[in-house]
Structure 1
Amino acid sequence: MMQPLEFQHVCKKLGRNPILEDVTLSVHAGEVVGIVGTNGSGKTTLLRLATGLVYPDKGHVYVGGKKIYPGLLGVLPTSVGAVIETPSFLPQYSGLKNLTLLASIRGKISQETVVSTMRKMGLDPSNKKAVQKYSLGMRQRLAIAQAIMENPDVLLLDEPTNGLDEQGVEIFSTVIQEQVQRGAAILMVSHHKEEIDKYCDRVFRLENRTLKPKR
Structure 2
Amino acid sequence: MESYIRFENVTKCFKQETVINDVSFEIEKGKIYGFVGRNGSGKTVIFKLIAGLLLPTKGNIYYNGKNITTSKNFIESLGALIEIPGFIPHYSGMKNLSILNGLSKKRVSKTEIEDYMELMGLNPKNKKPVRTYSLGMKQKLGIVQAIMNNPDLLILDEPMNGLDESSVERMRNFFVELRDKKNTTIILASHNKEDIEILCDKLFHVVDGSLREECASL
Give your verdict on TM over 0.5: yes
Gaps of 5+ in 2: none
The verdict on how the C-alpha distance between 1:185 and 1:86 changes in structure 2, with shifts beyond 3 A counting, is same
Deviations along 1:170-193, one digit per CA (max 9) or x if unpaired, are 221122112112111111111122
Inter-CA distance 131–64: structure 2 relative to 1 (3 Å threshold):
farther
Partner of 1:25: 25
Matches within 5 A, 1:166-205: 166-181=165-180, 182-205=182-205
1:74 to 47, 72, 88: 72
Match of 1:53 in 2: 53
Q: Which residue of 1 aligns with 2:158?
A: 159
Equivalences for residues 36-185 of structure 1 within 5 A: 36-69=36-69, 74-109=72-107, 110-181=109-180, 182-185=182-185
Structure 1: which 5+ residue stretches go unaligned?
none
Shift of residue 2 of structure 1?
Answer: 3.1
Instruction: Give the TM-score taking structure 2 as reference length.
Output: 0.91
* Stretches (4+) displaced over 6 A: none
1 CA distance for matches of 2:27 and 2:72? 23
Q: How many residues align?
A: 213
Which is further off, 173-182 or 95-104? 173-182
Is 1:213 aligned to residue 211 of structure 2?
no
Task: Using the aligned pairs only, state the percent identity.
Answer: 42
8 Å contact kept, 2:61–2:67: yes
User: Counterpart of 2:197 in 1: which secondary structure?
Assistant: helix
1:208 & 1:132 partners in 2: Cα distance?
A: 35
Shift of 1:69: 3.6
Distance in 2 between residues matched to 1:117 and 1:152, nearest whole Å: 14
Question: Which segment is superposed worse, 1-10 or 79-88?
Answer: 1-10
After TM superposition, the structure 1 = structure 2 runs for residues 10-21 of structure 1, keeping only pairs within 5 Å, are 10-21=10-21
